[in-house]
Amino acid sequence: MKKVLKWIVNIFICMMILIIVSSIVSSKKSDISSIFGYTPMKVLTGSMEPSIKVGDIVVVRKRPVSDIKIGDVITYKAEEDIYITHRVVQILVEGDDLKFKTKGDANNIEDKDSIYEDQLIGKLAFRIPKGGYIVDFIKKPIGFITFFVIPIVILIGTEIKSSVKQY
């Protein structure tokens, strides 16, 4: 049972590290990247407070437009390098296409423009509270050393110590 629990914890930690590393990488280039279909993004404004706060990381998953319902939180590309995460308040049918009207929870009015399928990045899968601050810290040299170099040195040291004990 201990081994299974240890594996689950290790898998969870690896997934969180992948999400954080992906956030770092995607913040350094103009296009966004995803891991296994999940795209992490740092929240920069308070338009979705109190449910999603500035500094959180939202992780969205690409979904067919037919899966999007009123009340879902989606992320879409508004302009070049501008991504917005807002709640769907209305779904409009235009021929065979669906369009979405969105609104930030903290905003008084709906967003001006409708969102088309080609703008949709994905639907909110989960959020990591304050995760953006961790990403910002890891980008600094002290953060990189703290989160990557020290754990790797400890891991290698533990493996060497374990190998020496066996012989």
d(CA 9, CA 127): 19
Q: CB-hemisphere CA count at 13 Å for 46? A: 4
- 21 near 35, Cβ under 8 Å? no
- Which of 23, 26, 56, 111 is catalytic? The answer is 111
47 has catalytic annotation = yes
> How many separate helices (H) and strands (E) can be counted in the chain?
4, 6
d(CA 138, CA 23): 11
Do you know the residue count of the chain?
Answer: 167
d(CA 15, CA 26): 16
- Which of 22, 23, 56, 86 is catalytic? The answer is 86
96 has catalytic annotation = no
- Which of 31, 47, 51, 96 is catalytic? The answer is 47
Helix (H) or strand (E) run with residue 41 in it: strand 38-42
86 has catalytic annotation = yes
Active site residues: 47, 86, 111
